[in-house]
């Protein structure tokens, strides 16, 4: 214990440590906090594990790295080297920079979010983006909520509370762990009526389930799995037609929204939202990011009278979106209207041809000083969109004397973390999701890791 006290006395004072020349120009409040955290850890180690007092230079390095952690916050940039453009854990779809510039203009000052400028009266935030959405989808009306999960919830709560909703057994999916169709449905107050079997559901199954309490036929995009082999799914036009015949609502939770085909039909057979609407589906919901390439939001499009009912639901106030979301969506939708949507980061990544990917891989390799090999690989789409879709891509194998898991860990712990793939026990950087502007950052991380 005496020994420990002696060691503890040797630790530098916070103020003195913070005044070291290595720290000039840093924010003094955060620097002191960083110094306090580091000294506290050292103190605990001395008391608990009887460790030695580290050299002053080592303490200074630790304070620097702690300072860096504090200033960048817990939410920060990472490099996506997985090749999965819609990466659920890495923020799903990146937002286009020019779209964000417009959002900055709108949201860093005042806007007409809820103000009718022409008449000098209170306005309605829900009508923003509706005009573009109707144009892009062919729907009569549209509205935006917080995310697609809340879109599903408010649609069921408004249109099917205390009533029955028929859903195919093969579509009672769980998406991302916390979104399960049956659970969302029971919370919304709608009663689930399962129809068909896991692998086969026919339109006669929906028709046979109808009672005086039936409000809706709901179809759900399977998003993260596919039933292959002996299976049969009911088409959207059959559901729309039969719903009309029975006098109930037809609803499709499309999950990911497409305004046009981005990748070939042979790779991803998902129907576009205009196709869904043209098939006579009364109401459809989809995410604002995923394949659409905007930001987190739930978009509801369909019949005017149904959208009107949803707008009147008091839950709308809880699920409503902020001006930032509306501004980003407006800018994203305009890209589609102008047919400049190939500029959106997700669309660019999903459609980059193999030749171009190869050229970019070569360029990155030329900037790296360690040993590398370029290989042909397949990248997936991600984000619960087109579960089976795979596209040709190129990967850069990073060779080193270290174990692949150790290199991978170093990459993840770089100043800007790089999230790579491990293929056959080798660290691979999939070029598809690495932007040219990120090459220098990638090089720094790789050089540090090997």
Ligand X SMILES: *Cc1c(COP(=O)(O)O)cnc(C)c1O
Which positions touch ligand X (CB under 6 A)? 147-149, 152, 175, 179, 220-221, 223, 253, 255-256, 287, 298, 384
CB of 77 to ligand X, least distance (A): 22
Alpha carbon separation from 209 to 4, 106, 190, 203, 252 (Å, rounded): 76, 49, 15, 10, 18
Q: How far is the CB of 345 from ligand X (least distance, A)?
A: 18
CB contact burial 397-409 (16+ within 10 A = b; e otherwise): bbebeeebeebbe
Nearer Cβ to ligand X (148/188): 148
Our CB check for ligand X shows the closer of 179 and 439 to be 179
User: How far is 217 from 252, CA to CA, in rounded Å?
Assistant: 9
Decide if 416 contacts 77 (C-beta within 8 A): yes
Tokens standing for residue 363: 């360029």
C-alpha 430/C-alpha 397 separation (Å) is 9
CA pair distance 261, 268, nearest whole angstrom: 9
Q: Alpha-carbon distance 31 to 174, whole Å?
A: 45
Pick 96 or 289: Cβ nearer ligand X: 289
Question: Looking at beta carbons only, is 36 or 320 nearer to ligand X?
Answer: 320
Smallest distance from ligand X to CB 367, Å? 36
Work out the angle at residue 342's Cα, subtended by the Cα atoms of residues 340 and 348, and round it to the nearest 5 degrees: 155
3-state secondary structure of 294: coil
**Based on CB atoms, which residue is closest to ligand X, 148 or 393?**
148
| Minimum CB distance to ligand X smaller for 221 or for 348 | 221
C-alpha span between 84 and 163 (Å, rounded): 40
Taking the C-alpha atoms of residue 235 and residue 256, their distance in angstroms, rounded to an integer, is 17
Residues in contact with 123: Cβ distance below 8 Å, sequence separation at least 6, in sequence order: 112, 113, 114, 115, 116, 117
Q: At closest approach, how far in Å is the CB of 219 from ligand X?
A: 10
Scored b (16 or more CB within 10 A) or e, 258-268 reads: bbeebbeeebb
CB-based contact 307:142 (threshold 8 Å): yes
Give the angle subtended at the CA of 206 by the CAs of 201 and 211, to the nearest 5°. 150
The minimum distance between CB 138 and ligand X, in angstroms, equals 21
Beta carbons of 429 and 395 less than 8 angstroms apart: yes
CA distance 396 to 380: 17
Choose between 256 and 271: whose C-beta lies nearer to ligand X: 256
Q: How far is the CB of 410 from ligand X (least distance, A)?
A: 32
Minimum CB separation of residue 103 from ligand X in Å reads 19
- What's the closest the beta carbon of residue 341 comes to ligand X, in angstroms? 19
Q: Tokens at residue 245, please?
A: 């015949």
CB contact at 8 A, 147 and 292: no
Residue nearest to ligand X (CB): 255
Closest CA to 332 of 350, 320, 344: 344
In a 10 Å sphere around its CB, with 0-12 CB exposed, 13-18 middle and 19+ buried, how is residue 65 labelled? Answer: middle
State the nearest-atom distance from the C-beta of 328 to ligand X, in Å. 14
Smallest distance from the beta carbon of 260 to ligand X, in angstroms?
19
Cβ count within 10 A of residue 181: 20
Closest approach, Cβ 352 to ligand X, in A, equals 24
């Amino acid at each position: 214990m005496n020994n420990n006290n002696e060691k503890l006395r040797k630790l530098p004072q916070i103020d003195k440590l913070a005044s070291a020349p290595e720290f000039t120009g840093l924010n003094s409040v955060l620097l002191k906090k960083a110094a306090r955290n580091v000294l506290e850890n050292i103190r605990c180690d001395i008391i608990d594990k009887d460790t030695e007092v580290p050299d002053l230079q080592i303490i200074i390095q630790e304070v620097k790295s702690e300072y860096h952690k504090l200033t960048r916050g817990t939410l920060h940039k990472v490099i996506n080297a997985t090749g999965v453009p819609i990466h659920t854990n890495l923020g799903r779809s990146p937002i286009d920079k020019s779209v964000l510039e417009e959002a900055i203009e709108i949201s860093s000052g005042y806007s007409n979010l809820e103000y009718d400028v022409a008449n000098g009266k209170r306005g309605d935030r829900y009508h923003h983006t509706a005009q573009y959405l109707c144009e892009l989808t062919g729907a009569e009306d549209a509205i935006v909520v917080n995310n697609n999960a809340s879109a599903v919830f408010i649609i069921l709560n408004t249109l099917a509370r205390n009533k029955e909703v028929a859903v195919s057994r093969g579509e009672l999916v769980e998406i991302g762990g916390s979104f399960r169709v049956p659970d969302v449905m029971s919370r919304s107050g709608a009663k689930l009526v399962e129809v068909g079997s896991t692998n086969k559901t026919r339109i006669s199954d929906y028709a046979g389930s109808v009672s005086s309490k039936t409000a809706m036929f709901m179809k759900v995009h399977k998003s993260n799995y596919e039933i292959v082999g002996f299976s049969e799914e009911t088409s959207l036009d059959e559901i729309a037609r039969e719903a009309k015949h029975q006098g109930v609502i037809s609803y499709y939770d499309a999950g990911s929204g497409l305004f046009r085909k981005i990748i070939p039909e042979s790779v991803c057979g998902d129907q576009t939202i205009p196709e869904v609407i043209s098939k006579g589906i009364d109401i459809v919901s989809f995410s604002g990011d995923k394949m659409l390439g905007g930001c987190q939001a739930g978009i509801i499009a369909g019949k005017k009278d149904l959208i009107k009912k949803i707008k009147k639901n008091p839950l709308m106030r809880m699920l409503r979106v902020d001006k930032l979301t509306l501004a980003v969506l407006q800018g994203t939708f305009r890209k589609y209207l102008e047919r400049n949507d190939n500029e959106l980061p997700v669309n660019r990544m999903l459609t980059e041809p193999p030749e171009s990917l190869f050229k970019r891989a070569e360029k990155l390799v030329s900037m790296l000083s360690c040993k590398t090999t370029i290989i042909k690989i397949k990248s997936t789409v991600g984000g619960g969109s087109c579960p089976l879709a795979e596209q040709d891509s190129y990967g850069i194998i990073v060779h080193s004397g270290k174990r692949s898991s150790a290199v991978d860990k170093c990459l993840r712990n770089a100043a800007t973390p790089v999230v790579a793939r491990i293929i056959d026990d080798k660290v691979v950087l999939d070029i598809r999701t690495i932007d040219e502007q990120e090459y220098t950052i990638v090089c720094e991380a790789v050089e540090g890791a090997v």
